[in-house]
Amino acid sequence: MPIVIDKDIPAFKILTEEKIFVMDKERAVSQEIRPIEIAILNLMPTKETTETQFMRLLSNSPLQVNVTLIKTSTYNATHTAKSHLDRFYKTFEEVKELRFDGMIITGAPVENMPFEKVAYWKELEEILSWTKTNVTSTLFICWGAQAALHYFYGIKKHPLKEKCFGIFAHQRIRDGVAEPLMRGISDEFHMPHSRHTIIYAKDILHVKELKILAYSKRAGASIIKSTDNRQVFVTGHMEYDRNTLKNEYERDLAAGLDIKPPANYFADREMQEVKMNWSSTSNLFYINWLNYYVYQVTPYDINEI
């Protein structure tokens, strides 16, 4: 089944060339099925790249998925053309009366700042609160996960002496309870990370409403969910493309920053070839989330959410 997006958004052409089934909104309205409504609050500076990455993952499901892109109104993005944002994104004010089956809140390059100092924090607090009543299941990514854990559960982020940057091995937490979100994922899997702060597992273990599903010695608690399955927190970036960390590394080098090459990432000494070993896990994880935590539990009448 297709993902439904505006045919003029750059992702439409990219995904079509990749032979991914996308459908424009005019064609979608003729379908006699109830599509899944997914909102993406995109807080990343590289918005066009990020939206394409998430749309690529959402398109692998057999479900028809309508995507609504959301931007903050209290902070104007500087790395994305205003014309792109005005055409393809909505503000929270424009969607807050709506209901969504699922929502993704992305990371943001502000993890060194106290949450309350982030320019759009008050607006984000309102959005986080709104997800509890207007969204069936919300997926929080990287800094978005840290922000949500802080807002809902008072869990702190901790600064790292050295940036957590690269591809790290993760272990599934197996406690004898079948976990649909991790179905089919190997006991050990890999995930990209790029951040200066960490969530400690010990800070989560005492919160009865939360459960750790995966852990990394280097990256800490990496996949966490609420016991009601309505909140999923991923502290890494499963959505990253093959060259995303390479581009970040080269950007930081060009800016004169003290940055080491991403760990466990390059396949050659010249640091040109990338060993991509997280894509199958990423695709399966998003299929599981859409199927088990969104599609199978969301009401057919979306207004009943």
Residue numbers annotated as active site: 142, 237, 239
The secondary structure of the chain in percent helix, strand, coil, rounded to multiples of 5, reads: 35, 25, 40
Can you state the angle between helices 47-58 and 279-288, rounded to 10 degrees? 70
CA distance 135 to 119: 24
CA dihedral (5, 11, 12, 15) positive or negative: negative
User: Are 104 and 68 within 8 A, CB to CB?
Assistant: no
Buried b (16+ CB within 10 A) or exposed e, 1-18: ebbbbeeebebbebbeee
